[in-house]
Amino acid sequence: MKKSLEENKIALGVAFGVVFGIIFGAVIGNVGLGIALGIALGAALGSTMQKEDSSSEEG
């Protein structure tokens, strides 16, 4: 069964993290670092949102 992008918050967070990471990297002059930070922060934020959604559905 396929999950939609709305259900998979980690993928959504990583996607937004890449976009904002590229912008941030261009501003500071180091795009590679910006992308890496964006992916890490996006995955962390997406994971947190996904855990909150799953816990609210159970209770």
Q: Helix, strand, or coil here: 46?
A: helix
Q: Quick one: pLDDT at residue 33?
A: 97
Tokens, residue 53 = 């959604």
- The CA distance from 8 to 33, in Å, is 25
Q: Are 10 and 41 in contact (CB under 8 A)?
A: no
**How confident is the prediction along the chain (59 residues), in pLDDT tens digits per residue?**
456 655 789 999 999 999 999 999 999 999 999 999 999 999 999 999 888 877 777 65
Please report the pLDDT score of residue 52 as a whole number.
82
